[in-house]
Structure 1
């Protein structure tokens, strides 16, 4: 993990996740899901998990650099958990409450790194 990012995992509901994704799109950050994708495919009742993994700089948008590239454990409408990435502004991530205990954070981080998850692109190819 790169220094400069918090060593934590945060839980977000679908509404919060859509807000973060919309912010990434509006800021021109590279890792987002595209307008409307999460609203269409994310499970509206699920909890999703973000884990910052590196500091990313967008040369084309210096006003939004640096930001954090986060691993995302995303639950889609069929109940499956998939892997994705989302660029998040540090202040937006910091505004999310810490709601998970250490054991849960460790379990989610392990699932993200070693869970043999489908990626968002792979899932989308299987679910046109």
Structure 2
């Protein structure tokens, strides 16, 4: 894990995840899902988990730099949890409430690091 990112995991609902993804698209951040993808494929009532893992800088976009590259445990429409990445502005991440206990954060981190989850791209290939 890179220094400079918060050492926490936050839960977000699908509407908040779509808002963060739209913000990433609007700011020209690299890791996003593309307009409409999450609205179509994310579980509508699901909880998703964001874990900042590195500081990412864009020299050509100082207004959006630095930002945090987050690992994302994403629950898709079929209920499966998959791995993805999302770039998030620090202020947007900090505005998300802390709602998870330590045990849940540890479980989410373990899933993201050690469970060999399908990536968003792999899942999309299997579920056109």
* TM-score, normalising length: structure 2: 0.99
d(CA) in 2 for partners of 1:46 and 1:115?
20
d(CA) in 2 for partners of 1:60 and 1:113?
31
Deviation sequence 1:1-43 (CA, Å, 0-9, x none): 0000001000000000000000000000000000000000000
d(CA) in 2 for partners of 1:33 and 1:60?
21
Q: Which residue of 1 aligns with 2:74?
A: 74
Q: Which residue of 2 aligns with 1:7?
A: 7
d(CA) in 1 for partners of 2:10 and 2:33?
19
d(CA) in 1 for partners of 2:60 and 2:25?
14
* TM-score, normalising length: structure 1: 0.99
d(CA) in 1 for partners of 2:18 and 2:77?
14
Q: Which runs of 4+ in 1 moved over 2 A?
A: none
What is the root-mean-square deviation of aligned Cα atoms in Å?
0.5
Q: CA deviation at 1:59?
A: 1.9
